[in-house]
Amino acid sequence: MYSLTFAQVSSIFGQNCQNKTLISKVIIDSRQAVPNCLFFALPGSNVDGHQFVQDILDCRGFAVVKRGYNKSSDRIIQVEDPLKALQKLAEIQLERLKIPVIAITGSNGKTSTKDLTAAVLSEKFSVHKTQGNFNNELGVPLTILGLEQHHQAVVLEMAMRGFGQISELTKIAPPDIGIITNIYPVHLELLGSMENIAQAKIELLYGLKPKGIAVLNGDDLLLRRSAAKVSEVKNKVFYGREIDNDLRADNISFDTQGNISYDCIWGSECYNVSLNLPGLHNVYNSLAAVAVGLEFGMSLADCITGLQKAELTRMRLEIEIGAEQVKIINDTYNASPASMHAALDILAAIETNGSRIAVLGDMLELGSISESAHTHVGEHAAQVCDYLICVGNYGAVVRQGAETAGFPQERIRVYQTVEDLLLDIKRLVQKQDLVLVKASRSVALERVVEVLKER
């Protein structure tokens, strides 16, 4: 991490200390302890981090604990709230470093857009980015505290499940550039309406720095309308397929593996983009990344070169080869109506010598539209796959949607749990089949992928 001494940390939290040992890294998991690490003891619903403070001290690390902790040490800092202390330290460290912040939110595509944006900027700059799903009130500060001296920009994914959460994240890391990928019915169970979802996402724009730039999906009409209300943001860049966008994709095509090609148009410039990424949604994600590169002064050609080097986070439309040449589309990290339909389109687009099989689990947090959304998924699946396997509480609803669309009943299997499916999956999938595996994260359908890969 960027140079930070224990004395400096102590001073930030109002304590006098002369120990100028450099902090090696900041952690919240004691299993990651190394000498001179700084451990924030966070109370959790199942485990309290204060139980492991002695382990940190034994490792010659430092600890930040809640005031009143019953052990004293010159390697311990006591604070009112260790979580708020972690966030404050990240905020101060970011102010100290003064490097540009690119923040990304949206209903779908945040992680892929983060990876693509970091890849584009890496053509010209040293870039640090959110790892995995470190996109919340813990992950954002930990990402910031992982910055090294050589980094010139940081790309942060910002997630939310309710009002005020994006605002809190932008207080820790005010963005120079804010990307909103789209507004879809995700977290509808908590927020109640599409307009409320939009308002929660638009918090990112209110959190921009005074001269901040908004990079927005201009084809999303609800997003356009919501962003128009944010008069404080003068610089808005719209991307998409429609003619009224600043950065456009035209002549979109897909190869036999579902990978995308398109013409990227910026003013009078036009370059062809061919990526090893499947799906129309990645046209939008890559356009957002290019828009950021252009705002950083990069040429369109350099932006596209960066795109072609991108490596996306695992379990997001990741193509894997299983036993007996089974091709697996592993999209098990999350699911929403829009991403489910996009994944089914990719299943249809990829050529295969075997059958097309869709293994679909529940989409969560959809509130009042849960039944209709799962019904529509079943209807869509009926148009693109040869066999349909449904898992979870809404499996019967997906099946009904498929049957209503004319899909043969004998080609559908419904399982209440993943454990039940695992007993049958190898029998249901044959040599050279193409299998889409997708559900919300808590369904844990990645276990199906693991079984299909066993030889």
CATH number at residue 297: 3.40.1190.10
Clarify whether residues 103 and 212 are in a common domain. yes
Is the residue at 93 inside a domain? no
Is the residue at 252 inside a domain? yes
| Cβ 306 vs Cβ 121: under 8 Å | yes
CA–CA distance from 242 to each of 43, 219, 259 (Å)? Answer: 49, 6, 21
Which of 248, 277, 307 delimits the end of a domain? 307
CATH number of residue 418's parent domain: 3.90.190.20
Is the residue at 313 inside a domain? no
| pLDDT reported for residue 46 | 84
Clarify whether residues 297 and 347 are in a common domain. no
Clarify whether residues 298 and 340 are in a common domain. no
- Strand extents, DSSP E, 352-439: 356-361, 387-391, 412-415, 434-438
Q: Which residues pair with 390 in a beta bridge?
A: 360, 414
Clarify whether residues 325 and 287 are in a common domain. no
Report the SS3 class of residue 353: coil
Clarify whether residues 242 and 185 are in a common domain. yes
Is the residue at 219 inside a domain? yes
Parallel, antiparallel or unpaired: strands 269-278 and 177-180: unpaired
**Which helix (H) or strand (E) segment is 26 a member of?**
strand 26-27
Domain residue limits at 342: 318-453
Clarify whether residues 303 and 323 are in a common domain. no
User: What's the domain count of the chain?
Assistant: 3
| pLDDT reported for residue 186 | 81
| pLDDT reported for residue 161 | 85
What does pLDDT average to in each consecutive run of 10 residues of the chain (455 residues)?
91 94 96 96 90 96 95 94 97 95 96 97 97 91 95 96 95 98 87 93 97 97 97 96 98 93 97 94 97 98 96 86 93 92 95 97 93 97 97 97 97 96 95 96 93 85
CATH number of residue 24's parent domain: 3.40.1390.10
**What count of other Cβ atoms lies within 10 Å of the Cβ of residue 22?**
12
Clarify whether residues 59 and 113 are in a common domain. no
Which of 307, 332, 347 delimits the end of a domain? 307
Q: Helices marked H in 98-213 — which ranges?
A: 110-121, 139-144, 165-172, 188-191, 194-206
AA letter at 451: V
Is the residue at 346 inside a domain? yes
Clarify whether residues 322 and 195 are in a common domain. no
Clarify whether residues 208 and 326 are in a common domain. no
Which of 19, 52, 82 delimits the end of a domain? 82
Is the residue at 90 inside a domain? no
C-alpha 30/C-alpha 7 separation (Å) is 21
Is the residue at 89 inside a domain? no
Clarify whether residues 175 and 151 are in a common domain. yes
Is the residue at 68 inside a domain? yes
pTM for the structure as a whole: 0.91
DSSP state, 92?
A: H
Clarify whether residues 68 and 105 are in a common domain. no
Clarify whether residues 117 and 258 are in a common domain. yes
